[in-house]
Each structure stands twice: as C-alpha cells, then as structure tokens.
Homo-oligomer: A and B are copies of this chain.
Amino acid sequence: MTNQVVAYLQENREKLLEKLYTYLRIPSISTDSTYKEDVAKTAGFTADYLKEIGFDKVTIQETERHPIVTGEWLGAGPDKPTALFYGHYDVQPADPLPLWDSEPFEPTERNGRIYARGVSDDKGQVFMHLAVFEAFMKTEGALPINVKVCIEGEEEIGSTNLHAVLHEQTEQFQADFAIISDSGMVESGQPTMLYGLKGAAALEFSVYGPDRDLHSGMYGGAVRNPLQALAHILSSLKDEEEVVQVEGFYDGVEELPEEERKLMAQAPGEDFVQTVGVPEAVSEKGYTAKEHTMARPTLEINGMYGGYQGEGTKTIIPAEATAKITSRLVPGQDPVDIVEKITAHIEKYAPAGVRVEVRPEPFKAKAYKVDPNHPLIQKAAESLTQAFGKETVFVRMGGSIPVVEWIDTVYQMPVVLLGFGTPEDRLHSPNESFPLESFDKGMETLVYYYQKVSE
C-alpha cells in the first residue's frame, strides 16, 4: 500500500531540497552579533514556513537576544496526543573558512551528502519535520496528531532565554511528549534509538604554593611544588581501572540492567584503536567501553596547566597550577552534589604546604533516560526500522542536551530523541554535512512515526 505522504515527499524532493538550501543560505550564527539580522531573518523564514503549512498562533517571540519561533496545530482534537517539537535554527560560526571545501552558506551536494553549516545541526533536521508537516497537510489536509512547535535561535550559545521561557510559559508548551531531532545515529545508515543522555557537572581548581615562581635550585627541597600537589590530587581521582575514587560518587547510581547491557551489546561498537588512534581502549572495571561511554558516569580532566610551557628548560617551582574537570552523570546523580563531593575529595587530598581553591562551573545538567520499552520509544524504533530497512539499535549517549533535562524536569513528559545525523557529519567543524539518505529516510521515519503515534 502506497503511503501518499511519503509519496508526496518523494515527488516534491527537488522543490523541498531547494527550499532547505534557501534556509541554509542564511548565516544564522547566534554567537556573533554581526549576524543578528540574519538570525532574525532565519526566524522569519521558519515562521513563514509554519504559516504556509497551516500552523496557528505562529509567533516570533522576541527575547533579550534572539527570538524563539512558536506555533501550534491542534486540529487532531483532544482524542489524539499532542507532541511538542523542539529544534533550533541557529548555527555555529563557520571559521576557519579556508578549511571548507565549498562555501559554508552555499549548500553543495557531493558524495551523497549535503555540505553546509547547520545542515545536520540543526536546521536540516528542523526542516525535515516541517516538510513532513507540509506533506501531511497537502495530502491529508491534517496532521495525524496535535503538534506544538518551539524552535529557538540560541542553542549554540546556551539556550539562556529558552530556559526562562520553558520554565514560565508552561501552559503553552504542555504536551504528551516531546520530539527532538538534534542528534545522530551510531553509524551512517544504522537506525538508532537514543533513549538516554548523560548529565554533567564541571569545576576547575587551583593549587597555590609560594607567592611567586621560585628558583627550583634555591627552593627545591623546602616548599611543596604546586604542580606536584596538583598531580597528586588528580591522580587520586581515579584508579588505574578507571574507577572514580571520590567518596560517594556512585551513590544512587543503579546497576546497569541486564536487558540494557544486551541492547548495548547489539549496537555497533567503535574500534577505538582505528577511529581515534589510541594504543588500546580502556574502560571502567566490570564494564565494556560501550557500556561505560553510554551508561556509566565518567570523570575527565579537560585541561591542566602551570609553570613553564615554552621551549627548553626554566628552572622554577611555579606559584600555582590549575586543572579543569567535568563529570558526566547518569540517573541517580545530582550535578550539585557531585561537585560538592569532588570538592571534598580535592580538599582532602591536598597535601601540606599548599592551598587549594575549587571553583564550580555553570555547566551542569541531570541525566535523562526513558524506558526503552515505552510505547513512544518502541514506535519510534519501529518507524526507523521500517524506513531504513534495517533493525534499529538502542543506545544511550555520553553527551548532554540541556533542553532535554529542562523539558523532563518542568513538563515530566517523555522526550523522543529521533536524530538522523551520522558520525561523519563534522558538527561545529569545517565541512559540516548530512547524508541525503538521512534526509530521505529520516523524513519517511517521521511520517511513519506521527502516523503510529496517532493510532
């Protein structure tokens, strides 16, 4: 039986791609105020498309920086579920420009991919939802379910204004579930159901010793070297089996259910020796690298510095040393609590002769996880399998998407993460791209999904 909505998308493919390219041509770089008007123009384009499709109450809601585009179509009636679709129309800067093989804001097709800034993250994936809504309206005159839309322009700069709006305009965004396409698949062509994200906690700390850099010949042997003290503290954070030694770090973390371990084992694994060039992969004792990256908390030093960094030798004992740490959290861990525990550990392990100062960083989020057996997730997986013609794998991810935590916390509704990016997309880097296969099969997936959820 031909699906007429899918057929519409196929028949209108060229026209839709052309429209997507127009969307991608506007450089909606949110971090750089030079592009403020382009960001506004992109919001306008988004709103116009929603109106054209037939959405109601389409609004460009101004904020202190970049607007949020909202709208709704509630024509499916109260018997049908309501989805909140979230996405973002802003993009990362394109520099360094010389590293692009084609213009970042002139979409170009080659090797079965579209090359353009924002094509994967996230304008391309936002556009796919809108195109699917268009297809439903053009063919069936209605969407299968009620849809509320929230598309922001500040995701790449921290979603500050969205945070306030989501917490204040709760009635406007209330729905039965949220759907977001701002993530990816484990590998190109492999349909992937993402059912969990990690949270995050961050801090930096400094070790202070003498009040100035000292001559290491004159003072070596009389004062504690802040670099030595820093190394001592950092070394104490994890053992050689990658088990975090901070007291209480694993409190509240649930054992990984056997069922999930099976799901993860089925997902394609990365051969880290090949993909990132390490001599060998290492992971927490008792867990595979896949399990550790997806579903176990981590603690990483992201940066560290102190003393002389130039060429050759400078014989000093430096006055101070600093390290930056982030921790990725799983359900059961609270970022504020984790920062406190790491702080206590640092203070406990600081040796005599130095002073430590810990500074929590604002980057923090709770983990998100939905039951992989939840009907909304199972239906998404079925839609993926149907469109891609391949069994869907279930994964959790080590990254954090703050908006997911906010929706989870404020609205207590499941968030369906249906992303079509691939590991080769080069998000935030030169030559960002998105496979045409993801464009086609991704839209097909969304058609099936909105239909299935309506049943």
A contacts, CB < 8 Å to B: 198, 200, 202, 209-212, 214-225, 227-228, 230-232, 234-238, 240, 242, 270, 272, 276-284, 287, 289-290, 292-293, 296, 298-309, 312-318, 321-324, 326, 328, 351-355, 361-363, 397-400
A361 to chain B, nearest CB (A): 5
| Complex Cα–Cα for A318 and B278 (A) | 12
Residue of B at shortest CB range from A310?
A: B303
Query: Contacts of A215 on B, CB cut-off 8 Å?
Result: 398-399
Given contacts A230-B231, A293-B220, A321-B304, contact A212 B313 (CB under 8 A): no
Q: Identify A298's interface contact among B221, B277, B300, B307, CB under 8 A.
A: B221
| Complex Cα–Cα for A434 and B169 (A) | 72
| Complex Cα–Cα for A253 and B353 (A) | 26
| Complex Cα–Cα for A357 and B234 (A) | 21
Count of identical protomers in the assembly? 2
A204 to chain B, nearest CB (A): 8
Given contacts A225-B301, A234-B228, A303-B308, contact A398 B281 (CB under 8 A): no
Please name 24 pairs of A and B residues whose Cβ atoms are closer than 8 Å in the assembled complex, sorted by A.
Answer: A210-B272, A210-B278, A214-B276, A215-B398, A217-B400, A219-B272, A219-B276, A219-B398, A220-B293, A220-B298, A221-B298, A221-B398, A222-B282, A222-B283, A222-B292, A227-B302, A228-B238, A228-B300, A230-B304, A235-B235, A279-B354, A302-B307, A313-B361, A313-B363
Residue of B at shortest CB range from A215?
A: B399
Inter-subunit contact B313/A307 (CB<8 Å)? no
